[in-house]
Amino acid sequence: MDKNKSEQHTNELLIFTYKHRKPLLITGVLAGVISIVVSLMLPVLYESNAIVFPTATSTVSFNPLSNAKASSMDFGEEENAEQLIQILQSSPLRNKIISQFNLAEVYGLEEGEKSYYYKLGKEYNDHIHFERTRYGSINISVLDEEPQRAADIANKIVQLIDTVKNDLIKERTVPAFEINKRKLEQLKTAQEKLNQEMDSLSQLGVVNAKSRASLFAAFNESKTQEDKAFFKNQIEVNLKYGARYDALSDLREFRIEKMTDHEVSFEQSESDALENFNHKFVVESAVASDKKAKPKRMIIVLIATISAVIFMFIILLIRERFQSIQQSK
């Protein structure tokens, strides 16, 4: 029963189609002609592509215990690629490209017109795309009416990756560098004052704990009154200031170790703040294309024609169904 019913419906559709073949044919021809005209009026766009890999790290580490995988020679992974795409889609990079290539004029927009920035952003996103490939690289695709301009825009975007990311990094690293620099200067100043105080004590005759123990032996072995008086004075000075000297000596050793560690931190922050790093590996630079990418006129004509015929078929079907209902009343 189901098979017979299905065949009946198929036959009815075939009969219906044959019955209305003329309007369907006319609709298809008209849609085809119109779509051909429209497709010919569409601007021809050429596509240029550049491919880059993100780096695994954006700095040079001064720490010998740092992870060996965080080498400046290593390619980045999925997280690095996602971060790089965010940089590519950022407004600083977009604004630089729009300004340098005067894309508002290229896209036929005038500043001050209604929804100017919305339209400009939409045109930019329609012509420039960023996509992560299955290999972990990022494909930068640019469509433009001029093939050379498309290639120039793609290559400029590749160059701006480092500029924009370095600017973002410096917003944090420069203040950190200034803090490290100020702290290091404070440590050096404190160390210098400590050394001056120890030098003053040394001029008074204060010696370290090891040498201090031999003063009593030297006093006992003295032959003359002058020697005894000298060593007695030395012993009294060391008894008075020896504890202070020992404390300063221990403090100096602690501060030297602390300053050494801080100098490593300072060198790291200086490198991060003042150096401009490369954040990508350029696998393929963009070149001007000699073959159009859009529009695909054949596809446009086929889709428009088939859609118009299907739409007309539905309208005729609805009209006939409506007429049947009217007649049955």
**Residue 86 domain-assigned (yes or no):** no
In a domain? residue 219: yes
d(CA 192, CA 206) in angstroms, rounded, equals 19
Q: Are 50 and 284 in contact (CB under 8 A)?
A: yes
Q: Mean pLDDT lowest for which of 25-34, 72-81, 88-97?
A: 72-81
Does residue 72 belong to any structural domain of this protein?
Answer: no
In this predicted structure, what is the pLDDT of residue 8? Answer: 66
More confident residue, 75 or 313: 313
Give the model's confidence band at 5: pLDDT under 50 very low, under 70 low, under 90 confident, else very high.
Answer: low
Asked if the structure places residue 186 within a domain, the reply is: yes
Contacts of residue 100, defined as CB under 8 A and 6 or more positions apart, other chains included, come to 156
User: Is residue 112, in this structure, part of any structural domain at all?
Assistant: no
Task: Answer whether residue 204 is part of any domain.
Answer: yes
Structure tokens at 280: 């990508």
Overall domain count for the chain: 1
pLDDT grade, residue 2 (50/70/90)? low
> Over 80: is that where the pLDDT of 99 sits?
yes
Give domain status of residue 239, yes or no: yes
Residue 136: which region, alpha, beta or left (left: phi > 0; alpha: psi -120 to 50)? left
- The DSSP string of 170-198 is HHHHHHHHHHHHHHHHHHHHHHHHHHHHH
Cis, bond preceding 295 (omega within 30 deg of 0)? yes
How confident is the prediction for the chain on average, in pLDDT?
Answer: 80
Give the residue-averaged pLDDT of 121-128.
91
Section 207-226 average pLDDT = 77
Q: Are 123 and 97 in contact (CB under 8 A)?
A: no
Half-sphere exposure of 130 (CA within 13 A, CB side): 23
Structural domain boundaries, residue 185? 174-274
- 70 has a pLDDT exceeding 60: no
Residue 191 counted as domain residue: yes
Instruction: Single out the residue of 236, 289, 266, 211 nearest to residue 47, CA to CA.
Output: 289
Q: How confident is the model at residue 128 (pLDDT cuts 50, 70, 90)?
A: very high
Structure-token match 């429209």, residue found = 38
pLDDT of 31 over the 60 cut? yes
